[in-house]
Amino acid sequence: MRTAFVAALVLTSGLAFADEGQWQPYQMPSIADKLLQRGIDIPASQLADLGQYPMNAVVSLGYCTASFVSPQGLVVTNHHCAYRGIQYNSKKEHNYLADGFLANTQAEEPSAGPNERLYITQEVTNVTDSVMANLSTEPLVRFEDIQANKKALIKVCESDDNYRCSVNSFHHGLEYYLTKQLIIRDVRLVYAPPKSVGGFGGDIDNYEYPRHSGDFTFLRAYVGKDGKPATFKKGNVPYQPKSYLKVNADGVKAGDGIFVAGYPGSTSRYNLTSELQFASDWIYPTYAKRYQLQIDTITLMGDVDKDIALKYAGTMASMANRMKKLNGLLDGFNATDIVGIKQQRENDFLAWLKKDPGANQNLISDLEALLAEKHQQMQTNYFFKNAQSSEMLQAASKLYRLAKERKKPNDQRESGFQLRDMKMFKAALKRIDSSFDPVVDKILWLQDLQAYVRQPLKTEVFDNALSSSDNFEQLESKVEGLYALTELTDQAKRLAWMSKRAEDFEVSDDPFIRLAVAIHDTNMALEKSEKLLAGKLSSVRPEYMKAIIDYYKSNNWPVYPDANRTLRITYGMVDGYQSKDALYKQPFTRLAGILAKNTGEAPYNAPAKLLTAIKADDLGKHRVTSVYKQQSSCQFMSCLDKPADFNSVPVNFLSSADTTGGNSGSPVLNGKGELVGLNFDSTYEAITKDWFFNPTITRAVHVDIRYILWMMDKVDHADNLIKELTLVSKTKGEAKVATEAVTEIPTKATTEAVTVVAPEVVTEAQAKAVIEVAPDVAIEVATEIPTEATTEAVTVVAPEVVTEAPAKAVIEVAPDIVIEVATEVPVKATTEAITVVAPEVATETPAKAVIGVAPDVAIKVATEVPAKATTEAVTVVAPEATPEEIPAKAAVVVVPEAVTKVPAKTAVVVTPEATAEIATKVPTKAAAVVTPKAAAEKEPN
């Protein structure tokens, strides 16, 4: 129901600005207070620094976002963002789209395709003054001046051809920023789940919620042996990023603050109401009609020929996504009076402007006149441009344009045809083969030609060159002849035209080249008229934006630029919402939803091994009991009431982050900057946020990192990749590997310290082996030390804790579990210290000293010191007492709140939150036990 009440509520309440904004990184200090309110503790100044963690780990794919997650150049993004790379490697004999792919070693990682790139942003610089210097007042010349200034800046920036630079307009030409990015040219496929996981629910679930999509894929960046970017070559080595994201295996709960970093595509929030109306009335319906026809055509042809289905899989996914979004926009405009909302704000702006006698009162009327011209231009040229949609005609036109541009000095060539563009130009010509079938291309082109000939806005040169007519049979026959006679379908011959002169094109017999030459001047005339209009807008629109920004600031509203595929940060919290059908959508979905939706038929055809793991309840350490805090900060009552235990693995979750297209694959980070998910979609009700942000219904949809880790561990057994990740808990600790394990100490027993550290004490355990035992599970650890024990330290470290515990082996024991440790010390036991440190107490244990405190527990201690006891002091320290050193060969055991049997010489485990009874038997070498909250005593030597 369209309602003006919604507009009034949003405009007057200030609610519209909650969590709104796609902020440039440099702006983060200006919203530091808002970040803190959301629980984002990482300093805003750190987020503003592109050279620091985590921003230097966020990369662009050119059309999506990704992030580094290991020191070996491992990258994670969405499955749908890596679709081209998966499709590129899929063949009849190994269809990775259908079956998934996992490289068990780096040697098995194939190229994701010659045109795949990673762009690592190094610098962003405000160059507004340079771009706007010495501009002409004549519109066309003004446009060319701006382009020339941008090219000059790019030329200096790209003195090293390993970098790609761009100058982007912000606030519709009010500001310009130069972005410098390192280009990774060798991108390889590492791990992708099947499409039935990555795209579970398909187009039906697209933009819908609840979702159960495993929309993730891992890639890897490679460079030459010298560390510099290089094209694909077997001898290349993994790129070593400046930093990589830590992965928080605990994930998030409802109400947690999060932020998203990425490269959002395009929004139109500062556009005029007339632009919104034109999009709603003409652009969206017109585009949707064409997309639907193409989708239907390719679907029918793909059903007959599986090769066609495979080649056009990426194209189909992209078109289906655009189609769903267009329909969502149209539905959103009907459901909410966004036109009325924007018109009211525009009216308020004009009223504000009239109060300033020095302001240009014709700002909007001047802009409206130019926009009307732009809309007319779009409608006039739409069908003619579509009539050139054939892949072969487009290739021919670009090649002829290249030959014409090469006659100019490089600096004067059109962007896209300069020397800096040739690698990508060539790669694009090569890539045609991976998603092109002449039969499909011909039929899609015929559809566009039919639409062109049926409308009145014809182009005589094109009509004459193509001999087009209203007779479909004649048109089809003409098109058949073009495809039959062209040589451009052959890649080698197509590439050979890159070095040809314009004169060679003009005498060519190839029918597509002849058609491209015939319509070239017409296309250049259209381009010139578009540049002329852009020149006019470059004067008027920035002036309007300056006034709008002043108006926003006067109302204390957030000011950020519309999205334009540059690096941005948005923030919010994990939260559900009240949907269009009046149901409250909970923020998390679980594995059971996959079983409930699964039909065995696409798009609800989850693979058998996934279904088996779910039915077996094989969750292991990934099981999540609750996704709610004690006191939820969600907006709605259903969040405030604690629901039943979650008892599953979260699959997808919602947040109030302000995202759009291009944010796909963006890392979702918790308040400490640790990876907790990947952005991949928005809810249907939120699609209109490109024009207007409504905080009550705007939700982004993310893949939960816990689902990704569970898939890697229990379903696809990507153990090699899990070992690459730096997994951290939500509080303090971190470990390189998360594994459930029973550890055996090898033949040679230790002659040096055995250290056990309780939970929440240590970070960075330097060791040759690290075993992390996940919390919330019951574990029994049995360790036996044989006759000849190891000569180096064995350290047991509880999760989320220890600082610098050097060792050759580390066993991490989770809190909140009952553990029984039984150890036997054989004949040749340790002659040096055994150390146990209680939780939340000790951080640094020097040399052969032990300080042990066990808080708030009742412990029964029995200590027996046999004949040959230690010859040096044993120190017992009660809670909150001053630590004393225990020299040389002493042993102290502290065990809080657990039943623990601590013999000598291996892993001793400390577990909180249980009543503890300690029985300690001390063999040949002495041991002492510390009772918490007791007076310190010293055993005699």
What's the alpha-carbon Rg for the chain, to the nearest Å? 32
Do β-strands 175-184 and 118-126 pair in parallel, antiparallel, or remain unpaired?
antiparallel
491 and 410, same domain (yes or no): yes
Residue 671 to residue 680: CA distance in whole angstroms: 20
Contact 396, 515 (CB under 8 A): yes
Whether residue 232 is found in the same domain as residue 284:
no
Residue 377: pLDDT over 50:
yes
Q: Judge whether residue 421 has pLDDT over 60.
A: yes
How many whole angstroms separate alpha carbon 680 and alpha carbon 669?
A: 14
Q: How far apart are CA 72 and CA 352, in angstroms?
A: 55
- Looking at the predicted structure, is the pLDDT value of residue 694 above 70? yes
Same domain, 334 and 210: no
Residues 255 and 215 grouped into a single domain: yes
Using an 8 Å Cβ cutoff, are 449 and 479 in contact? yes
How many Å from the N-terminal Cα to the C-terminal Cα in the chain? 86
Amino acid, single-letter form, for residue 382? Y
CA 759, 764, 766, 769: dihedral to nearest 10 degrees?
A: 60
Provide φ and ψ at 433, rounded to 5°. Answer: -60, -30
Asked whether residue 208 falls in the same domain as residue 344, the answer is: no
pLDDT for 630: 65
The arithmetic mean of pLDDT across residues 175-179, rounded, is: 98
Considering the domain architecture, whether residues 593 and 671 belong to the same structural domain is answered as: yes
**Distance in angstroms (rounded) separating the CA atoms of residues 119 and 462:** 39
Catalytic residue among 80, 172, 212, 622: 80
Structurally, the chain folds into a number of domains equal to: 2
Q: How confident is the model at residue 835 (pLDDT cuts 50, 70, 90)?
A: very low
Secondary structure, 3-state, 313-352:
HHHHHHHHHHHHHHHHHHHHHHHCCHHHHHHHHHHHHHHH
Cβ proximity of 260 and 569 under 8 Å = yes
Report the share of the chain in percent with pLDDT over 70.
74
Q: Which of 501, 530, 554 is the last residue of a domain?
A: 554
Res. 885 pLDDT band, cuts 50 70 90:
very low
Q: Is the bond preceding 786 in cis, omega lying within 30 degrees of 0? A: no
Q: At what angle do helices 363-386 and 511-554 cross, to 10 degrees?
A: 160
Do 365 and 426 fall into the same domain? yes
Instruction: Say if residue 611's pLDDT is above 60.
Output: yes
End position of a domain, from candidates 698, 731, 764: 731
The pLDDT value recorded for residue 115 is 87
- Measured in residues, the chain has a length of 941
Check residue 674 and give its pLDDT. 98
Q: Is the pLDDT of residue 700 over 60?
A: yes
Does 781 reside within a domain?
Answer: no
Query: Could you give the 3-state DSSP secondary structure of residue 111?
Result: strand
Q: Do residues 171 and 550 make contact, with C-beta atoms less than 8 angstroms apart?
A: no
Report the candidate in 267, 157, 269, 262 with the shortest Cα–Cα distance to residue 566: 262
Q: What is the mean pLDDT of residues 590-615?
A: 98
The answer to whether residue 889 is domain-embedded is no
Higher pLDDT, 830 or 328: 328
Q: Out of 508, 648, 655, 664, pick the active-site residue.
A: 664
Q: Is 80 a catalytic residue?
A: yes
Distances (CA, A) of 697 to 188, 336, 342, 557, 694: 38, 11, 17, 19, 6
**Residue 458 within a domain:** yes
* In a domain? residue 17: no
Provide the pLDDT for residue 471: 81
- How does pLDDT run across 78-111, given as a tens digit for each residue? 999 999 999 999 998 899 999 999 999 999 999 9
Asked if residue 281 and residue 397 are part of one domain, the reply reads yes
Q: How far apart are CA 782 and CA 99, in angstroms?
A: 40
Give me the amino acid identity at 811: I
| 435 included as an active-site residue | no
Q: Is beta strand 186-192 parallel, antiparallel or unpaired with respect to 794-797?
A: unpaired
Q: For tokens 């919402």, name the residue.
A: 577
- Residue 19 confidence (pLDDT): 87
Residue 574 has pLDDT above 70, yes or no: yes
SS3 of residue 173 by DSSP: coil
C-beta pairs of 399-407 under 8 Å, 24+ apart in sequence: 399/494, 399/497, 399/498, 399/500, 399/505, 399/513, 399/516, 400/502, 400/505, 400/513, 400/516, 400/517, 400/520, 401/520, 402/498, 403/500, 403/501, 403/502, 403/504, 403/505, 404/502, 404/520, 407/502
What per-residue confidence (pLDDT) applies to 803? 35
> Is 524 domain-assigned?
yes
**Residue 827: is its pLDDT beyond 60?**
no
Active site residue 499: no
Task: Determine the Cα–Cα distance for residues 593 and 590; give it in Å rounded to an integer.
Answer: 6
pLDDT, tens digit, for every residue of 237-295? 999 999 999 999 999 999 999 999 999 999 999 999 999 999 999 999 999 999 999 99
Mean pLDDT of 427-450: 94
Could you tell me if 629 and 646 are in contact, meaning their C-beta atoms sit under 8 angstroms apart? no
Distance CA 697, CA 687 (A): 10
DSSP state of 158: T
φ and ψ at 80, to 5 degrees? -70, -20
Interatomic CA distance for residues 749 and 644, integer angstroms: 48
For tokens 């007042």, the residue is 137
Q: Starting at the earlier edge strand, list the strands of the sheet with 834-837.
A: 770-772, 809-812, 794-797, 754-757, 834-837, 891-893, 928-929
d(CA 561, CA 577): 26
As a 3-state breakdown, the chain gives helix, strand, coil percent values, each rounded to 5, of 40, 15, 45
502 with 407: CB under 8 angstroms? yes
Domain assignment present for residue 718? The answer is yes
Number of H helices, E strands in the chain: 28, 34
What integer pLDDT is reported at residue 821 of this predicted model? 31
pLDDT of residue 408: 97
**Three-state secondary structure of 543-575:** HHHHHHHHHHHHCCCCCCCCCCCCCEEEEEEEC
pLDDT score of 929 more than 90: no
Look up residue 58 and give its two tokens. Answer: 């966020």
Backbone angles phi, psi at 82, to 5 degrees: -95, 10
Query: What is the b/e burial string over 51-64, where b = at least 16 CB atoms within 10 angstroms of the residue's CB?
Result: ebbbbbbbbbbbbb
Report in angstroms the alpha-carbon separations of 409 from 194, 263, 335: 49, 33, 54
Distances (CA, A) of 562 to 40, 170, 243, 349, 666: 23, 7, 28, 19, 18
Mean pLDDT of 165-193: 98
pLDDT per position as a tens digit, 899-917: 333 333 333 333 333 333 3
pLDDT surpasses 80 at 650: yes
When comparing pLDDT for 297 and 781, which is higher?
297
Residues 441, 571, single domain; the answer is no
pLDDT band at 218 (very low <50, low <70, confident <90, very high): very high
Q: Which residue has the higher pLDDT, 922 or 263?
A: 263
Q: In sequence order, which residues have a C-beta less than 8 Å from that of residue 130 and are 6 or more positions away?
A: 149, 152, 153, 176
* Mean per-residue pLDDT over the chain, rounded: 80
Q: Which of 302-316, 347-361, 557-571, 925-939 has the lowest mean pLDDT?
A: 925-939
Over range 820-838, report the average pLDDT: 35
Non-local (6+) Cβ contacts of 164 within 8 A are 119, 158, 180, 181, 183, 420
pLDDT at 314: 87
Q: Are 648 and 634 in contact (CB under 8 A)?
A: no
- Per the CB < 8 A criterion, the answer to whether 583 and 641 are in contact is no
Query: Which range (358-367, 553-562, 716-725, 856-865) has the least confidence?
Result: 856-865
CA–CA gap between residue 401 and residue 835 (Å, rounded): 76
Residue 652 clears pLDDT 80, i.e. is over it = yes
Confidence of residue 550 (pLDDT cuts 50, 70, 90): very high
- Specify if 736 maps to a domain: no
pLDDT score recorded for residue 641: 54
Distance CA 165, CA 53 (A): 22
Q: What is the DSSP letter of 454?
A: T
Same domain membership, residue 405 and residue 475: yes
**Residue recorded with tokens 């540049």:** 531
Nearest in space to 25 (alpha carbons), one of 166, 154, 170: 170
Same domain, 668 and 622: yes
Q: Which one of the listed residues 19, 145, 215, 448 is annotated catalytic?
A: 215
Q: Are both 385 and 478 inside the same structural domain? A: yes
Question: What's the CATH number where 715 sits?
Answer: 2.40.10.120
468-496 confidence digits (pLDDT tens):
667 888 899 999 999 999 999 999 999 99
Give the C-alpha distances (Å, rounded to integers) separating 772 from 643, 648, 741, 790: 30, 21, 8, 21
| Cβ–Cβ < 8 Å for 523, 398 | no
Domain boundary among 731, 750, 773: 731
Residue 333 forms beta bridges with which residues?
Answer: none
* pLDDT at residue 335, rounded to an integer: 81
Run of H or E including 141: helix 139-157
Tokens 């930093």, residue located: 243
* Per-residue DSSP letter, 534: H
Mean pLDDT, to the nearest integer, of 920-941? Answer: 34
Domain that residue 86 falls in: 25-117+185-269+562-631+640-731
| Residue 87 is assigned to a structural domain of this protein | yes
